[in-house]
Structure formats: C-alpha cells, structure tokens
C-alpha cells in the first residue's frame, strides 16, 4: 500500500477516535457552541489553526518548507462569506459538520446517517446546478493579496502573534461564558451517552 495512503488512514483513524472520545460525535455537544454554553469546538479548531500556522512559519524559517512552493488559493471573500453562512446554518440546524457526521455514523448514530444522506444529496444538487451558480463561487475576489501578511503588509510573525493572543482571549471568554451558563459545557461522557439540550 502507498505510504501516503497508509499514513492518511492511520492519522484519519486516530483523528476520528480523538473526536469521538472528546464527544464531537454528538450533536448535543456540537450545537452547544451555537448556544454559547460549550466552547470546545471553537477552542479545538482555533488551536489547530494557530498550531498549524505557527508550525508552518517555523518550518519555513528553518528551511524545511519553501514558501514559494506552497499553493495558496485565490481569496474569494464574497464566496467565503456566503459559503461560511450556509455551512454555519447547516451545522446549527443539523448538529454536524461533514467530518463530525462521519464520526457520529461510526458511533452508530441514526441522525448522523440522515445528515450524511442530506450532505450527499446536497453535493449532487450543487454539481447539477453548478453552471447556474458558478458565479457565486468566485464572488468578491480580492486581487490585492491572498494571505494576511501580504494584504496588511505586516510580517507573518506579527500575524501569528495576533492569532495566539486571540486564542488566549477566546479561551478566557469561552471559559467565563461556560461557567456562567445555566447548563455549562457538555462533558465527553454526556455527549457519548446521548446528551440532549433542554430548551427550557
């Protein structure tokens, strides 16, 4: 088996197990982020983004990664905003994102299977309608730059420092809001056991 495929399978399996043990296969825990009572999803994703950004910067500085060999897609700001709003709405309503729905399915959750079915149906519908909606996928292209350092004419070190500060602020704010919410954050045990938020 190709080493890249094997490493992908191993890392993917490990990532899925970690998500499941953290309770990210439960829509109850995931949608608690939108109610601002459990900031786990935001903390995990923001930490991953900061870790990747800082790690990439370090690898560039030590010469292990060449910046000019990295592909940076064009910045379509309008399309990103529209797509982000649609994904956020789907996440809040359905209780899953594409990755966590697979985790939920592997945990035996029926709602995750339904969500994945809807995801596949939506993918097919998008492919079918693509000629008509293609202009939306390139909406609001920003021609000035494709990265934050280039757009704001600042160093990548400063951008990463700002991101780290923002992550610390989010941890503090999220922790404060979790402590003062009526139900508090959803524990991994509650999520695995099928926690359901009480709307009252």
CA distance 4 to 10: 10
The whole-angstrom separation of Cα 51 and Cα 170 is 15
Q: Is the pLDDT higher at 194 or at 77? A: 77
- The residue with greater pLDDT, 54 or 191, is 54
Q: Are 148 and 142 in contact (CB under 8 A)?
A: no
pLDDT tens, position by position, 84-130: 999 999 999 999 988 889 988 988 889 999 999 999 999 999 999 99
The residue ranges of every structural domain in the chain are 13-185
Q: Output 125 or 27, whichever has higher pLDDT.
A: 125
Please state the rounded mean pLDDT for residues 58-66. 88
CB burial of 126-165 (b: ≥16 within 10 Å; e: otherwise) equals eeeeeeeeeeeeeeeeeeeeeebeeeeeeebeebbeebee
Provide the pLDDT for residue 79.
95
What's the pLDDT score for residue 135?
Answer: 94
For the chain, the 3-state helix, strand and coil shares in percent, each to the nearest 5, are 70, 0, 30
Burial class (CB in 10 A: 0-12, 13-18, 19+), 187: middle
Amino acid 143: pLDDT: 86
* The model's pTM: 0.77
């Amino acid at each position: 088996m190709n080493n890249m495929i094997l490493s992908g399978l191993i890392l993917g399996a490990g990532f899925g197990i970690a998500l499941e043990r953290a309770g990210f296969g439960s829509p109850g825990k995931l949608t608690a982020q939108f109610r601002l009572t459990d900031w786990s999803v935001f903390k995990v994703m923001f930490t991953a983004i900061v870790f990747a950004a800082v790690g990439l910067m370090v690898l560039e500085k030590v010469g292990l990664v060449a910046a000019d060999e990295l592909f940076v897609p064009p910045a379509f700001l309008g399309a990103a905003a529209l797509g982000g709003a649609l994904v956020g709405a789907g996440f809040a309503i359905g209780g899953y994102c594409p990755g966590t729905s697979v985790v939920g399915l592997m945990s035996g959750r029926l709602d995750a299977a339904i969500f994945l079915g809807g995801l596949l149906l939506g993918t097919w519908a998008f492919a079918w309608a693509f000629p008509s909606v293609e202009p939306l996928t390139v909406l609001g292209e920003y021609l000035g730059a494709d990265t934050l350092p280039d757009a704001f004419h600042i160093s990548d070190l400063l951008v990463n420092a700002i991101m780290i500060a923002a992550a610390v602020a989010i941890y503090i704010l999220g922790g404060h809001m979790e402590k003062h919410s009526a139900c508090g954050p959803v524990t991994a045990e509650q999520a695995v056991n099928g926690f359901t938020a009480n709307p009252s």
